[in-house]
Chain A
Amino acid sequence: MWGLGSLGDLSYRTLIADVADEASAANIPNIGEVSSLFALRFWSQYEKTFQAALARARDLNSKPARTQDETNELLSLLQALSGGFCIGGRWGSSRQPSAFEILFYPTLTTAPTTAALASGSTKFWGVPNLISRLLYGIDEQLFRAILASGKWTGGHKDLGDLVSNCMLAQPKDLPLREAIDWVYASIYTTIKGLKFSHLAPVCGGPIEVAVISSDRPFRWVRHKRLDEAIS
Chain B
Amino acid sequence: MNEHEQAFSDAVLLKIKDEHITPKPRWEFLLKDSAIWIAGGASLLVGGLAVSVIINLLTSEDFAIAVARGANPLAMFFASIPYFWILFFVAFLFITRYNLIYTKRGYAYTLPVFAVASIAISGVLGVIFYGIGIGPDIESELTERIPAYVQIAHPRAILWSHPERGMIAGVVVGVDDDHDFILQDFRSTMWTVEADASNTLPVTVPGMRVRCLGDVVGPNEFRAMQILPWKPPAPSFFRYQIPQPRPRPK
Q: Do A and B bind each other?
A: no
Chain B contacts to A: CB under 8 angstroms? none
